[in-house]
Amino acid sequence: MNGAGTFKGSPWLFEAYMDKMFSFTLCLALLAAHAFAAVYYVATDGSDANAGSKDKPFATLNKANFVVKAGDTVWVRGGVYELRDTVFYQRYKMTAGILLTASGESDDNRIHYLAYPGERPIFDGSNLLVAIGTDHSDGTPEGAMYTSPIVIAAKFLHLKGFEVRNTPMVHNSNSGVFIHASKHIFLEQMESHHNAGPGFFANDGAADGGGHIFLNCDAHDNYDPTGWQGDGENADGFGAHYQKPGQGDTTKFIGCRAWWNSDDGFDFINQEFPVVMENCYAMGNGYSDYGTKSPKNGNGYGIKMGQSTLGGGRHIIKYCVAWKNKASGFYANYTGVGSYWYNNTSYQNGDRAFSMASTLYDADGNRIADVAPLTGDSAHVMKNNIAFPNKLSQIGECWEKIVSQNIDHYVECAAGENNTWNLKLDLTEDDFLSLDDPSMTVAGKDLSAVAGVLGPRKADGSLPDVDFLKLKSGSRAIDKGENIGFPFAGSAPDLGAFEYGLSSSSVASSSSSTTKLIAMKTGNFTEFSPASVFDLQGRFLGTLPTKLLRGNNISDGLKIKFKTPGAYLVKCGRLLQRINIK
The 10s digit of each residue's pLDDT in 105-150 is 999 899 999 999 999 999 999 999 998 767 778 788 888 889 999 9
Task: Please choose, from the candidates 17, 3, 4, the residue with its C-alpha nearest in 3D space to the C-alpha of residue 507.
Answer: 17
- Between CA 83 and CA 132 the distance in angstroms is 17
Asked if the model's pLDDT at residue 36 lies above 70, the reply is no
Question: What is the band of 573 on the pLDDT scale with cuts at 50, 70, 90?
Answer: low
The 10s digit of each residue's pLDDT in 397-438 is 998 876 667 778 888 899 999 999 999 999 999 999 999 999
Q: What is the pLDDT of residue 165?
A: 98
Q: What is the pLDDT of residue 142?
A: 81
Question: What is the band of 228 on the pLDDT scale with cuts at 50, 70, 90?
Answer: confident
Alpha carbons within 13 A on the beta-carbon side of 297: 13
Question: Among the listed ranges 258-272, 273-287, 396-410, 503-517, which one has the minimum average pLDDT value?
Answer: 503-517
H-helix segments, 415-544: 438-441
- Between CA 30 and CA 146 the distance in angstroms is 34
Whether 306 and 332 have beta carbons less than 8 Å apart is answered as yes
Whether 482 and 418 have beta carbons less than 8 Å apart is answered as yes
Asked if the model's pLDDT at residue 13 lies above 60, the reply is no
Question: What is the band of 547 on the pLDDT scale with cuts at 50, 70, 90?
Answer: low
Estimate to the nearest angstrom the gap between the alpha carbon of 559 and the chain centroid: 35
- Between CA 402 and CA 392 the distance in angstroms is 22
Q: What is the pLDDT of residue 20?
A: 42
For the CA atoms of the chain, what is the radius of gyration? Answer: 24
Segments making up each domain of the chain, as ranges:
22-326, 520-581
Question: Among the listed ranges 14-18, 236-240, 323-327, 577-581, which one has the minimum average pLDDT value?
Answer: 14-18
Question: What is the band of 557 on the pLDDT scale with cuts at 50, 70, 90?
Answer: confident
Task: Please choose, from the candidates 461, 512, 391, 475, the residue with its C-alpha nearest in 3D space to the C-alpha of residue 189.
Answer: 461
Question: What is the band of 480 on the pLDDT scale with cuts at 50, 70, 90?
Answer: very high
More confident residue, 10 or 339: 339
Torsion of Cα atoms, 174 then 179 then 181 then 184, to 10° = -170
Asked if the model's pLDDT at residue 509 lies above 50, the reply is no
Average model confidence (pLDDT) for the chain?
86
Q: Give this prediction's pTM.
A: 0.83
> DSSP class of residue 33?
H
Alpha carbons within 13 A on the beta-carbon side of 453: 29
> 140-152: b or e for each residue (b if 16 or more CB lie within 10 Å)?
ebeebbbbbbbbb
Asked if the model's pLDDT at residue 47 lies above 50, the reply is yes
Whether 358 and 375 have beta carbons less than 8 Å apart is answered as no
CATH 2.160.20.10 fits 22-326, yes or no: yes
Question: What is the band of 539 on the pLDDT scale with cuts at 50, 70, 90?
Answer: low
- Between CA 193 and CA 260 the distance in angstroms is 10
Q: What are phi and psi of 397, to 5 degrees?
A: -115, 120
Per the omega criterion (within 30 degrees of 0), is the bond before 274 cis? no
**How many percent of the chain have pLDDT more than 90?**
68
